[in-house]
Amino acid sequence: MTAEVLIREARREDVAAIAAMFAQDTLGGHGDSADPADLPLYLAAFDRIAASPNDGLFVALIGQEVVGTFQTTLITSLTGRGATNLTIEAVHTRHDRRGRGIGAAMLRHVIEQGRANGVRLVQLMSNATREDAHRFYERLGFSRSHYGFKMKMP
């Protein structure tokens, strides 16, 4: 790691930097955009996330620069005797900052958040094409356990 990474909850002023990171992603195929005309869509999503008691959006900073992001959701289920799981979504490190320990810092943070909330399980899904990311997650202690299924809605 080249500098200290600070993890904090995302703020509205971080949203453009987060969207720009997603727009640079060539594997995800989510159709993200750094176009300022699309910023209101991202801000509306940010507002919904911020209003949810079970969702969190975080950024990783080096200095004042946003270099990574991830989202979390606490899910309580009747399975496991009413256990709560922590799901990690949209883990992303800025392309020019990869390989510097930022992703590991973000995931250590979320795992500690899970411990603090007494969750039974920390889980995430990763695009099947992201083989480097899969090795990264496995190095951090995650294991492959389920198949994921999705249905895109029109």
Domains defined along the chain, listed by start: 54-139 (3.40.630.30)
Considering only residues 131 and 48, tell me which one the structure prediction assigns the higher pLDDT: 48
d(CA 88, CA 142): 12
Taking alpha carbons only, the member of 151, 31, 22 closest to residue 95 is 22
CB contact at 8 A, 123 and 134: no
d(CA 69, CA 23): 13
pLDDT band at 1 (very low <50, low <70, confident <90, very high): very low
Long-range interactions of 131-134: CB distance < 8 A, separation 24+: 133/91
Count of alpha carbons within 13 angstroms of residue 112, beta-carbon side: 7
Predicted local confidence at residue 24, as pLDDT: 86
pLDDT band at 140 (very low <50, low <70, confident <90, very high): confident
In tens, the pLDDT along 70-122 reads: 999 999 999 999 999 999 999 999 988 888 889 999 999 999 999 998 999 99
pTM: 0.88
d(CA 150, CA 153): 9
Question: Three-class SS string for the chain?
Answer: CCCCCEEEECCHHHHHHHHHHHHCCCCCCCCCCCCHHHHHHHHHHHHHHHHCCCEEEEEEEECCEEEEEEEEEEEECCHHHHCEEEEEEEEEECHHHCCCCHHHHHHHHHHHHHHHCCCCEEEECCCCCCHHHHHHHHHCCCCCCCCCCCCCCC
Mean of pLDDT values over 29-38: 82
